[in-house]
Amino acid sequence: MKYALVTGGSRGIGRAVCLRIADMGIPVIINYQSNYEAACETMRLVSERGGQCALMRFDVSNSAEVAAAIDAWETEHPDDYIAYLVNNAGIRRDSLMFMMPDSDWHDVIDTSLGGFFYVTRRLLPKMMQRRHGGRIINMASLSGQKGLPGQTNYSAAKAALIGATKALAQETASRGVTVNAVAPGFIESDMTKDLDQAELKKMVPTGRFGRPEEVAALVGFLLSDESDYITGQTIGINGGLF
Ligand code: NAP
């Protein structure tokens, strides 16, 4: 059976993506780092709509933890494989660059970019061996496309993710694995709850923040068979803000 893995599936956009995948009839593995309660709530919501799911805890920025968790899952599921991967886990640690501590630079890059590398590298061999319908979606950001002040770490991580998406897409295309990035603008979630939404939404042409479900709908399309000829792309979902 083909499974989906969503990193950072416990909250926000990742949770909405898990629900969307469940609605597509695909069993979903919900990764989280530390928020067990939120991950259980995602699991409850998936089960409530008749979906199949399981939790998988690991820190995406820790190569050994990623490998150990996926090794254990593969041992328990000898006839299954993870065909759909959504690299969604991410964090923000904003400050002007002249004041940015080393840890904020590294934590943000290690989570978004390192996480993409460790999880994807581990899953690629099986996805490519099967030669059919593998899907990798990377959660980038408008910040990685245009650069945002106060986010040199985050913009760098997300811009690098877009570059890696384009490169990997060319490595895997002949094996039927597509690799795309989604670049949201302002989306309502824990990540943006400390922002001045009333002020910021004035910058957005549609006049509002996006909803996690709207991002999940786009991810769902990119995971589907209908998107088979789309690879190496970064698709914005930002209410017209650029
Ligand atoms: P969120 O509500 O803050 O949720 C973040 C998720 O990532 C949580 O599930 C968290 O797990 C997980 N996570 C964080 N660090 C992790 C790690 N080291 N290992 C495993 N999981 C980790 O964020 P969100 O707004 O849904 O954002 C999801 C993605 O979209 C991120 O990549 C973000 O950069 C991107 N994005 C968001 C926006 C926006 O406006 N919200 C815009 C553009 C891009 P725990 O629950 O265990 O902490």
**Per-residue pLDDT tens digits for 27-73:** 999 999 999 999 999 999 999 999 999 999 999 999 999 999 999 99
Residue 15 included in any domain? yes
**Cα–Cα distance, 240 to 242 (Å, whole number):** 6
193 lines ligand 1 (CB under 6 A): no
- Which ligand 1 atom lies nearest to the CA of residue 57? 20
pLDDT at 133: 87
How remote is the CA of residue 137 from the centroid of ligand 1, in Å?
A: 14
pLDDT at 170 over 90: yes
192-203: average pLDDT? 96
**Per-residue pLDDT tens digits for 100-115:** 999 999 999 999 999 9
Q: Give residue 109's domain range.
A: 2-237
Residue 57 included in any domain? yes
**Per-residue pLDDT tens digits for 65-104:** 999 999 999 999 999 999 999 999 999 999 999 999 999 9
For residue 63, give the CATH number of its domain. Answer: 3.40.50.720
pLDDT at 219: 99
Residue percentage of the chain with pLDDT more than 70: 100
- Atom 34 of ligand 1 has which residue's CA nearest to it? 90
Q: Is 3 a catalytic residue?
A: no
Instruction: Find, among 210, 198, 52, the residue nearest to 142 by Cα.
Output: 210
59 lines ligand 1 (CB under 6 A): yes
pLDDT at 87: 99
Q: What is the mean pLDDT of the chain?
A: 97
231 lines ligand 1 (CB under 6 A): no
134 lines ligand 1 (CB under 6 A): no
| pLDDT band with cut points at 50, 70 and 90 for residue 18 | very high
pLDDT at 131 over 80: no
- Which ligand 1 atom lies nearest to the CA of residue 35? 47
Tell me the sheet residues that pair with 210. 187
How remote is the CA of residue 87 from the centroid of ligand 1, in Å?
A: 10
Burial of 49 (0-12, 13-18, 19+ CB in 10 A): exposed
SS3 labels along the chain: CEEEEECCCCCHHHHHHHHHHHHCCCCEEEEECCCHHHHHHHHHHHHHCCCCEEEEECCCCCHHHHHHHHHHHHHHCCCCEEEEEEECCCCCCCCCHHHCCHHHHHHHHHHHHHHHHHHHHHHHHHHHHHCCCCEEEEECCHHHHHCCCCCHHHHHHHHHHHHHHHHHHHHHHHHCCEEEEEEECCECCHHHCCCCHHHHHHHCCCCCCECHHHHHHHHHHHHCHHHCCCCCCEEEECCCCC
pTM over 0.85: yes
Residue 45 included in any domain? yes
**Cα–Cα distance, 108 to 125 (Å, whole number):** 27
Residue percentage of the chain with pLDDT more than 90: 98
| pLDDT band with cut points at 50, 70 and 90 for residue 130 | confident
Residue in 3, 32, 84, 154 annotated catalytic: 154
**Per-residue pLDDT tens digits for 141-153:** 999 999 999 999 9
4-14: average pLDDT? 98
Residue 189 included in any domain? yes
209-222: average pLDDT? 98
38 lines ligand 1 (CB under 6 A): yes
Residue 242 included in any domain? no
35 lines ligand 1 (CB under 6 A): yes
How remote is the CA of residue 69 from the centroid of ligand 1, in Å?
A: 19
- Atom 31 of ligand 1 has which residue's CA nearest to it? 90
Tell me the sheet residues that pair with 234. 181
Q: How many domains in the chain?
A: 1
Residue 107 included in any domain? yes
Residue 128 included in any domain? yes
16 residue type, one letter: A
7 lines ligand 1 (CB under 6 A): yes
Residue 41 included in any domain? yes
